[in-house]
A = this chain, B = another copy of it.
Amino acid sequence: MKKLINDADAVVTDALLGIEYAHGDLQRVDHEHKVILRKDPKPAGKVGLISGGGSGHEPMHGGFVGLGMLDAACAGAVFTSPTPDQMEFATKAVDGGAGVLHIVKNYTGDVLNFEMAAELAAADGIEVASVIVDDDVAVQDSTWTAGRRGVGTTVLLEKIVGAAAEEGQDLAAVLELAKKINGQGRSMGMALTSCTVPAAGKPTFDLADDEMEVGIGIHGEPGRERKKIAPAKDVAAMLVEPILADLDFTGSPAIVMVNGMGGTPLIELYVVYREVAELLEKSGVKVARNLVGNYITSLEMAGSSVTVLKADDDILRLWDAPVVTPGLRWGA
């Protein structure tokens, strides 16, 4: 296992120290609870937004804590849900009386733990709402999930809902928007290589030199099919076509993300984006905004995922609102 780490058991602890050193102007880290928080107190009356999940997907979620996006993120062990304790701590830390939204990716452990945390917080008198993100069209159920997995739409949702909370929308409105974004976002990913969880010390799965996995999850869960490697144009079609088959994206502006899984260089992501953009154009989907880069990763896995979100003028306005986080930043 070749990794720039000190010890397999210390990866998250060490990374959180690095994040604190690097982003101390924007964030603070509670090392006891492994929670990343906005440095400056959020405005009075603002709905609190928290998310979290297993580590190994950076910059998600900790990199999205800051003005206009999340108020806190809980870091689990690599590819392992954070605990209810972490989530309860984060919920209390960000509540200012207007309630807290939990943004939960649909994995069994995350869903159960966030449910328990919501109950604990409710017992403390905090109003908690939850949205479960389940945007991955690749598989209906998986080894990690009942129902669809939560993947790239999470990034777009945290940005858009973050802007809504920042402008003072109340918990009911923020929850409704979050559900709408999840309902209008679809994703699909693929991998050229596996990844190695530090504590496991060996690749999560094996792929031959001429094979790729299409429909992969963000933890190396099996996808739809294992295929021979193919040109970027064909790979893009394998990702875009199931997305377009699942929802009608015509007639609305779309926000599109071509995401790297962690080990794929940016030059290749631009090659993929070119193909994705042309496929969408041919299909009558109008791309209004885009992201190309590493936003929701799987350690050093090589590969890419595509997310398409059906937007509208209000969603685009919230997308364009200022965001100041380590992972996304514009307008301020």
Question: In the complex the two chains form, what is the Cα distance from A290 to B229 in whole Å?
Answer: 38
Q: Does A269 contact B (CB under 8 A)?
A: yes
Stretch at the interface among A54-62, A103-111, A126-134, A179-187: A54-62
Whether the pair B267, A294 counts as a contact (CB closer than 8 A) is: no
Q: Output the least CB separation between A236 and chain B (Å).
A: 9
Residues on B with C-beta less than 8 A from A12 are 267
Interface flags, A230-248, vs B, CB<8A=1, else 0: 0111010000000000000
Q: Which of B7, B270, B297, B324 is A265 in contact with, Cβ under 8 Å?
A: B297
Q: Give chain A's interface residue range (CB within 8 Å of chain B).
A: 35 or more
Of A16, A22, A272, A332, most buried by chain B (CB within 10 Å of CB) is A22
Q: Known contacts being A14-B232, A277-B21, A292-B18, is A4 close to B266, with CB within 8 Å?
A: no
Q: Does A227 contact B (CB under 8 A)?
A: no
Whether the pair B231, A270 counts as a contact (CB closer than 8 A) is: no
Whether the pair A231, B6 counts as a contact (CB closer than 8 A) is: yes
Q: Known contacts being A264-B4, A264-B300, A302-B263, is A270 close to B192, with CB within 8 Å?
A: no
Residues on B with C-beta less than 8 A from A58 are 265-267, 270
Of A55, A212, A231, most buried by chain B (CB within 10 Å of CB) is A231
Q: Which residues of A contact B (CB under 8 A)?
A: 2-7, 11-12, 14-19, 21-22, 55-56, 58-59, 63, 78, 192-193, 209, 212, 229, 231-233, 235, 262-275, 277-278, 287, 290, 292, 294, 297, 299-300, 302-304, 324, 329-332
Which 9 A-B residue pairings sit nearest by Cβ, starting from the closest? A18-B270, A18-B274, A58-B266, A21-B277, A18-B273, A15-B270, A4-B268, A17-B274, A262-B265
